[in-house]
Structures are given as structure tokens and as C-alpha cells.
Amino acid sequence: MDNILTQQEAMLRSGQISEVDYTLKLKLEKGSQEYEGETTVRFVYTGGKKGKLKVDFVSKKIEILWLNGKEETNYEKKDSALFLSGELLAEGKNELKVKYKNAFDHSGSGFHKFTDPSDKAEYMHTDFEPFEAHRLFPSFDQPDLKATYELEITGPSEWTYIHNTVPKSEESQGNYKNIKFHKTKKFSTYLFSLIVGPYAVWEDKAGEIPLRIFCRKSLSKYMDAENLFAITKEAFGFLQEYFGVPYPYGKYDQIFVPEFNMGAMENVGAVTFSESYIFRGPRIYSEYLNRANTVYHEMVHMWFGNLVTMKWWNDLWLNESFADYLSYYSMSKGKIFPDALEHFYVREEWAYREDQLSTTHPIAGKAENTLEAISNFDGISYSKGASVLRQLMYYVGEEKFRDAMRLYFKRHAEKNTVLNDFLSCMSETSGIDIRGWSKEWLETTGVNTLSPVRQNGRLFLHQGPSATNGLLRTHALQSTLLREKNGILEEVWKKRVLVKGKETLLEENYTGEADLLLLNTEDFAYAKTYLSKESLPILKRSLHTLKDRFSRRVVWGSLWQMVRDAELSPKEFLELALDQGLKEPDLSVRNSHILTKALTVIDNYIPEAEKRTWSDKLNSIAKEKSLLAQNPEQEQILWFRILENTSKSTEQLSYLKELLDQKKSIPGISMDQERRWVILSRLSAYGDPESSKRIEEEITKDNTDLGAKKAFLAGVSFPNPKTKKESWERFLKPKEGDSTDFLRYGMRGFQWNHQKDLLVSYTDSYFNSVISVYDTRDPHFASAFGHLMFPSFEPDPNLLKRTQEFLDQNKKLPELLKKDLQQQRDDMQRTLKVLEKYKN
């Protein structure tokens, strides 16, 4: 796979190339799998006529190439680039023009094309991060060669054409129209966007900024544009004032596109979103909040990432850490989701998990090439970086943190930055030399663990080093002491604490017994926190009496870290979850910290022989609770999900079937299309003899692409050797028209823990084929295959040994595969450690 750009190549090229601009002409046809293009690249060259200049470009056919007005044939074309001899280039201004034909992509990235089966409408969208713009047009596809773009497009007149700017002219030509867009401002190639198709549209304004929302016509009935506009306007209202820079790009479009690989992408003035954010049925509060957070996140990128862009992908955190934290912070200042920072605490679990894997890396990381850059879109660059920024804000103060952002944008607008540019701005405004802080936090790996200790009349906090490097760090945090009085937990004190070294004294003459010391209340620090073992009896009696919801989150979050670290028995956690957890009044806390975690514990951290007992207990509770007619809708959604997830016995599955056939019902729960597919997949996975016929019938009711994908998932789930073999072969050799997204749905249905006997033979198949998958398929497909098809039916020392041997024997694995397998190995080791410690 040569479709890679190295950091060394990019540095060399940015030393030779400057003042880039692109003029693009594209022609699109209905029903075609290819398109015509003509791109003119103007640039200044100062390479001294030595060597070759690499121009990134994937194309089906180059029809003609001109250099400085003359047709040129003396160029070298490879799969993902063309090379021009330095001798052909002029010192100074050059103009390269290429006329070409190209094929659409079906991987979700590049220039992706999708046909909606429900109405045969065609939709196209670009997705170029980190290194895909050259799939559409010849370019210097690296973040520090910012350019302007002038787009002209000809295509069917019934299609809508959305770009980074608005049209300056539009002419009809029979069944076609020709649109010329205004020239863009200067930005990196990966932020270029073109979205095409017969989209439904909604319009509004945020002050003077025109807003539009688009989605494909067949999903328009589900679009709650009013809600999304309210969130968008609130975000603009806060961010423009906070950053001290008006929104720089004129208009703001948000487009929900089919088969998108990620949550969203921050293209300048034309943000693309996954259609998973179009809700086809009622959702719980945290899902609405997460969608709003994605809206905020992408808007923060208009400043962090778009206006000021990292020089190379090693500083990806300058985009993602800031967008991740400031989106939650901004939401917390608004009226729609003021509790956003509590949900940020939930998200941090992603960072804690990844920072304890052998694949962790510093926040300010390295990316030797664009493939390695893809692997850095992870919990470190997003969630850990965000958490560390929250710590920095608490450390220097909110106003000084904000002033540093303002200085950063003023100084570096439309430019590219590195770590030191940010540190300089923060040091100037805070009056603190932040470089030492950076070395401690941004340039190291690992997470510290903070524990309360009572000893000899003293109450203090113990800091454990991060596991791989033994580092102790400085933490600014808040601690709260609670005391049980008459069965109720009441606050004794709340302190701001600066933690340094192994021990930090909290109270000298400490006499409390029935106390609960909570570390890191309100979550200002990036650190795992434990609870003292002495406080567990208090929690078992009185946790539900703790008034502050965020503090209850911190309790459950600490308990979860203790389970994962084999410091708390999984059974003790389950007992607490099925008692105190059911008394938790807030549904969001109950979902994310208690019930979801209980399911994870049952699936991973208790012996196989006991799993069914605990699953049955939870199923019984969910069934009983769901029949309470007075429950609010959100609670009913929650109980239904638990009920479905724990249905395994013949009796439990029969109840689901009766719900599906509407012979029985749950108050407030309608058997909408989403729920019908969920139940059908489970019935199929447990070998229901009617499932194949039911899937066929269901797809006639749901003739959408999502219906086809969910039918594929349900069919692949069936425990039949022939079904499994055929689907495995299809993943490796797809049928014509199989998109990455379609195949990903099938992979989600392949493995079920109870099908171990049927699936065990695929362990060899996995290890025999996985290198080829990563070498030849697009990264999104490869990573899905690597994770979803890994034979993780249950933790197994033999599988752990096999995985390690595979890593040892294949020293030159593709970097993405190496990372994915190391993470699988690390997760197995952790699970086996918990199981071993608590097997009795």
C-alpha cells in the first residue's frame, strides 16, 4: 500500500512549495461510477530543479497534463502520486493542469458515492482527513500547505451541490446545471468539501450567519432540525465571544451523509455528520447530549483546526483535545445541556482505558506518516488531551485560559502551529512557565492513581505512579469529605488540593470513622481515583442519600476503576449495582455508570459458570421494572435495552418474540423499526427456527439501506456453519456494491459469546488472513475487521498466547494491525487478571 505520505516527505515539500491555490472543474453524471475532473494547481517552487516533486493523486486515468501551458508527458505516475522532475519546473511561479477521469469511492472516505435503495437517489460526499483529498484532485495533500480553492461543477439539475463557500453563479443547461462557487479562504486540503445529491434542506440564521441543515430525502421525516438549530445558535453565541474572533467562514452548513465512517468531520463551513445522529425513534438524554456535543465539537474546530491548523499530524491534539474539551465546557455555559461536564467525566473512561494499554502515546505524539496519523485518532488525542486541558484551566484559572486562546488565534490565524506556539501563548497570559507543565503532562504517558489513606490519626491522599514509567505528577483537584449521620451522607468539607509526590496531607488530627472521602469531585484532574475499602459498608447502606449527582457519578466511576484494576470484586460491584444502583434517581447516571457497567462485568469479569445467574437476575429486574406504567419514557427505553441484552434462555427469548408480535407489550414502548431489528438479531443469534423467514418479511417493511444492513447483521448472527462460512468469505472477497459500511454491519453479527463452539475454527482463519486485510483494504474496513472479527468469545489463556506469538513472529506487521492486536492482548491480560483474582 503506497498511499502514504511521510512526515519527512511533507517537510521536504513544504520547504520547496508555497503560495498554493487550486481551481477545480468537475462533471458528474447520473448513474455513473466515475466522474470527470480538471484541476489547475498554481504554486511557487524553490526546489532548485533538483530531484522530483511529488504531487499526491489517485486517479483512474490521466487524459492530459499541462505544465506551465505546455502539454507534458515526461512525468512518472504511481498509484497515489505523480512525480515531476525538478528540471521541468520553473523557479518561482508554476501552473500544473491535469484533466482526468476518476472512480467514486465506496469506503466512506475519499469521494464516496451511495445509492439509496428506497428511492434510487444518488448521494456523494467527500471525507478527506487525514490524507484523502488527492482522491478527488491532484494536490499537495498535507496540512501545512494551506491553499485557496475555486470550484466549478456541472451535474444533474435536480441535485443540490454544497461546498465550503456559497455559489457566485448558477446556470441551467438542459437537464444539467453549472455552478461556480466563490473562492475560499486559505485552509488545508483535508478540510475541502463537496456534498452532492437531492438533499432535503432546512434554513435558519445565527445572527448574520446563514445556517442550513441537509439530509437525504428518505430520512427527512426523522430530522429534528429545530432542535439542532437551537444547539447551533447557542454554540455560535458562546464561541465567537469566548474566542474573541468572529466566525471566519461566512456560512455554516451541517450535512448528514450516508455511510460516514466517523461521528462527524469539520470541513470549513460544511460539516458532515454520520446519519446515526438522525434518530429514527426516541432516545435517552445522554444520546441527545452526545449529539449536541458533536455539533459543538465540530464548531470549535472552525477555530481550532481550521483557522489555526497543526503543522503535521503529530500535533493532532492541537485540533482534537481542544475541540473535545471546549465543546463540553461551552455546553456547560449554555441552557440546553448545563450538565455537560458530568458527561465529559463519562467520556474520560475512554482515556483511562487507552492510557493503560501498551499502545499509549504522549498527547503531543508522533506520526511518521499518514497511516500512523490515523491510529492517533484515539482516546489519548481526544479524551486524555481534553482532560489535561481541563486540569490546565483549573490550574491557571478560567479567564487566563480563555485569554491564551484569544492570543493564539490573533497570532496564528490562517497559519500552522506546533506545540511551542500554544505553550508560548499560555505562558504569556498566565504568567506561569507552562513548559514544565507540558513536559509533565503532554510529553509523557500513563495515568496516576489517587487513593485515600487513614493512618495514625492522619488523613492523607496517596499517589500511585503511572504503571509503565513510574512517574508521579502534580495534580490540582477538589476533594470532599462526607459523613454518615442518621443514615444520610452529609458534606463535612470540600477542599482544593494540590497533589505533589507520594503523599498529600488532608487532615492532621483526623478522628472520623463512618466517613467517605471522595477524590477529584467535579473532575478537575486527570487521575484514576479509588475509594477506601473501609467506606464500602457506608456505600452499601447510604450511597443513594448523597445529594450531589456529580459526586455520585464520581463514586461509581471510582468503583469501576477498582473493578478493572482487580481492586474490587466484580461480584461486590454487581451486588452494589443491583441494590444501591437501582435507587439512583438520575437515569443518565443509572445508565452510564451502573447498568451498562453491570452488563460489562457480567460479560467479562465473572466466571463463565456464574454469568447466566447474574444475567437472569438483571433480566428479571428489567422485566419487572419495565411493567411499571408510571415510568417516564426514558426509563422505559433503558429497561427495554437491558431486557433485550440479557435475554438468553428459551423463556426470555419467547417473551421478546411475544413483544415483537405484539402479543405482549411494555407500557410506553412501541415496537418501532429499530427495536424490531434488535429483537430479530437476537432471536437469529440464538437459533430461532423462524428467524430466516422473519428477516425476509421484515426487509419488505423496511426497504431502506439501514434495513438491508440490519437484515445482513441478523442473518450473519444465525448459528449455522454454512451461514458463518459464507459471510466470512464475503468479508474477505466482497460482492460488487458491498460498501465498507454494509460489511461492517455484517461483522457486528458474526461473533456471539454463546456460539464459541461454532466459531473457534475461525481463530486460524483470522490469523491467516488479517495481515492481507490490513495490507490491501481501506483503513476503516481493516480496523473494523481487526476488532470485530478477533476471536474474543471469552477470555482464554490460549488465545492470549496465540496473539503474543503472532506479534512476536511477525515483526513487520502493518502499524495499524500491530496496534489493534496489542490492544486486544492487553485487554485479555486485564480480564484474565480480574478473573484469576476473584475466581472463588
What CATH number did the domain enclosing 126 receive? 2.60.40.1730
Question: Three cell numbers at 683?
Answer: 432471536
State whether 151 and 5 are in the same domain: yes
Considering 177, 195, 213, which residue would you say is the last residue of a domain? 195
* CA gap 4, 140 in Å, rounded: 12
379 is in which domain, residue-wise? Answer: 303-442
State whether 323 and 369 are in the same domain: yes
pLDDT at position 671 is 94
State whether 414 and 552 are in the same domain: no
* CA gap 627, 92 in Å, rounded: 76
Asked if residue 225 is part of any domain, the answer here is no
State whether 733 and 788 are in the same domain: yes
State whether 7 and 141 are in the same domain: yes
Amino acid at 693: K
Q: Is 91 a catalytic residue?
A: no
* CA gap 707, 118 in Å, rounded: 10
Considering 195, 220, 253, which residue would you say is the last residue of a domain? 195
pLDDT at position 629 is 86
Instruction: Quote the number of domains for the chain.
Output: 4
State whether 357 and 415 are in the same domain: yes
State whether 766 and 752 are in the same domain: yes
Residue 242 DSSP label: H
State whether 81 and 31 are in the same domain: yes
Q: Give residues with Cβ within 8 angstroms of 7, minimum separation 6.
A: 312, 313, 314, 367, 368, 369
Considering 565, 587, 621, which residue would you say is the last residue of a domain? 565
At 317 the three-state DSSP class reads helix
Catalytic residue (one of 298, 484, 635, 698): 298
Asked if residue 213 is part of any domain, the answer here is no
Asked if residue 66 is part of any domain, the answer here is yes
* CA gap 531, 525 in Å, rounded: 16
Question: Three cell numbers at 420?
Answer: 511551542
Asked if residue 749 is part of any domain, the answer here is yes
* CA gap 443, 423 in Å, rounded: 13
Dihedral angle, C-alpha 563, 564, 566, 567, nearest 10 ° = -50
State whether 50 and 159 are in the same domain: yes
At 382 the three-state DSSP class reads helix
CB neighbour class for 74 (10 Å; exposed up to 12, middle 13-18, buried from 19)? exposed
Cβ–Cβ < 8 Å for 825, 800? yes
State whether 345 and 493 are in the same domain: no
Per-10-residue mean pLDDT of the chain, 840 residues long, equals 88 97 98 97 94 96 97 94 96 98 94 96 98 98 98 98 98 95 98 98 97 97 97 98 97 98 97 96 95 98 98 95 97 98 97 96 93 91 96 95 97 96 96 92 96 91 94 96 93 95 92 87 97 94 96 98 97 97 96 97 93 97 94 95 97 97 95 95 97 96 94 97 97 93 97 94 96 93 96 87 96 92 96 88
State whether 506 and 407 are in the same domain: no
Asked if residue 706 is part of any domain, the answer here is no
Asked if residue 216 is part of any domain, the answer here is no
Question: Three cell numbers at 365?
Answer: 505524539
Cβ–Cβ < 8 Å for 256, 215? yes
Of the candidates 522, 585, 581, which has an alpha carbon nearest to the alpha carbon of residue 345?
A: 522
State whether 418 and 468 are in the same domain: no
**How many of the other CB atoms lie within 10 Å of CB of 241?**
11
* CA gap 482, 586 in Å, rounded: 20
Asked if residue 529 is part of any domain, the answer here is yes
